[in-house]
Amino acid sequence: MTGHMNITDDTATAVYTAVRALLAEHEPGELVGVSCIARGADSVFARAVLDSGARLEVVLPSRNYRAAKVKPDHATEFDDLAGRASAVRVMDFDDAGREAYEAANEAVLGTVDRLVAVWDGDTGQVGGTGSVVALARERGVPVDVLWPAGAARA
């Protein structure tokens, strides 16, 4: 999973519904969702995975990610998702930063059969959602882009 952190509340609801529909095409016992559980699309995806009965694996960019990057208004959801995950992998970085995020993106891409991208099509910055989509496509990883009608970033 890759996606924008700054989606609106209405977009989060629409994305949740779209992810659940995508997951419904498969048996829950056969699915493992992989997410960094950041605010926004990552957490919406993770919640939909767990609610569908599938397993969730979490990839964290650094050892200090929770303390340094998770804001108080996202902490409860972050902790709940991490606690319900079947596995939590932490990249070998003390501090969250560009290198750590790129390593986390590599870890996600290296373990998935398909990439779900909550993406508005903006190629954006290096290491962002557009970069992850491009890298997946370069490597031949199928990409399901979800950007429901009316979706927006805050």
| Count of domains forming the chain | 1
Q: Which of 48-52, 68-72, 126-130 has the lowest mean pLDDT?
A: 126-130
- Within a domain: 87: yes
Distance between CA atoms of 135 and 37, rounded to whole angstroms?
20
Domain carrying residue 76: 2-146
Q: Is residue 94 part of a domain?
A: yes
Please spell the DSSP secondary structure of 34-74, one letter per residue: EE---TTHHHHHHHHHHHTT-EEEEEES-TTHHHHH--HHH
Average pLDDT over every residue of 96-108: 93
CATH code at position 124: 3.40.50.450
* Six token digits for residue 154: 């805050």
Answer for the pair 121, 147: CB distance below 8 angstroms, yes or no.
yes
Structure confidence at residue 126 (pLDDT) = 65
User: What percent of the chain lies above the pLDDT cut of 70?
Assistant: 97
Lowest-pLDDT range of 6-20, 43-57, 86-100, 118-132: 118-132
Residue 138 lies in a domain: yes
Residue 153 belongs to a domain: no
Average pLDDT over residues 76-98: 97
User: If you write DSSP's letter for every residue of the chain in order, what string do you get?
Assistant: -EE-S-B-HHHHHHHHHHHHHHHTTS-GGG-EEEE---TTHHHHHHHHHHHTT-EEEEEES-TTHHHHH--HHHHHHHHHHHHH-SEEEE-S-SS-SHHHHHHHHHHHHTT-SSEEEE--S---STTSHHHHHHHHHHTT--EEEE--TT--B-
Q: Is residue 132 part of a domain?
A: yes
Confidence (pLDDT) at 122 = 86
Looking at residues 38-60, what average pLDDT do you find? 98
